[in-house]
Chains A and B, each alone.
Chain A
């Protein structure tokens, strides 16, 4: 079975992309080896303390805590994109492995399929 790398590249609440991506990742991890890489504004999905009560939408960021239980192999983010937004690992709601350019290129190389959300 092909291994899959899900790349999350959109901010969390402005469009449905982020939530759809997370749903696809959780579903995919039931069938095959999956990892996730957060790049660009996608790193903003991981920021702790999101509250969508007043917005009336689902706070799907809470589901990130389930990635390990679903067997998602590697949870990584772009170190340059993290720094460009003035964030660091302590801003995140789960443990994430920051990668430099070479690390991200290797992650892509080691997976059979790459899906961008």
Chain B
């Protein structure tokens, strides 16, 4: 499994063609704003960043909210991590 992290809205344009069906995507920092739009793949978002921006309950389904310990677990499970910023 490849883990993609996106920390800016513009980051999606860089990686939209690079995300395979069995990859996982984590939105963090300003990247969580991407959760406001419908996305073609399933994603997780860092809860702290979502709460800070007042987006709880405003994100499109299915965005799964995770905390930092979940994020660390995902990182350790991943074969490699790609950061899009």
Q: Which chain A residues have a beta carbon within 8 Å of chain B's beta carbons? A: 7, 9, 39-40, 78, 80-81, 100-101, 104-105, 108-109, 111-114, 116
Q: Is the CB of B18 within 8 A of A101?
A: yes
Residues of B within 8 A of A78 (CB): 17
Known: A112-B80, A116-B83. A105 touches B14 (CB 8 A): no
- Chain B, interface SS category: mixed
Q: Which residue of B lies closest to A100 (CB)?
A: B17
Contact with A along B60-85 (1 / 0, CB 8 A): 00000000000000000000111111
Q: Is the CB of B14 within 8 A of A104?
A: no
Q: Which residue of A lies closest to B85 (CB)?
A: A116
Q: Which residue of A lies closest to B84 (CB)?
A: A116
Q: Is the CB of B14 within 8 A of A108?
A: no
* Cα distance A112–B15 in the bound complex, in angstroms: 18
Q: Is the CB of B14 within 8 A of A114?
A: no
Residues of A within 8 A of B52 (CB): none
Q: Is the CB of A40 within 8 A of B14?
A: yes
Residues of B within 8 A of A101 (CB): 17-18
* Cα distance A114–B80 in the bound complex, in angstroms: 7
Known: A114-B82, A116-B83. A104 touches B18 (CB 8 A): yes
Known: A40-B13, A113-B80, A114-B80. A108 touches B85 (CB 8 A): no
Q: Which of B3-44 contact A (CB under 8 A)?
A: 13-15, 17-20
Closest-CB distance, B80 to chain A (whole angstroms): 6
* Cα distance A39–B19 in the bound complex, in angstroms: 13
Q: Which residue of A lies closest to B83 (CB)?
A: A116
* Cα distance A101–B13 in the bound complex, in angstroms: 13
Known: A112-B80, A114-B80, A114-B82. A105 touches B13 (CB 8 A): no
Residues of A within 8 A of B18 (CB): 39, 101, 104-105, 108
Q: Is the CB of A109 within 8 A of B82?
A: no
* Cα distance A92–B28 in the bound complex, in angstroms: 35
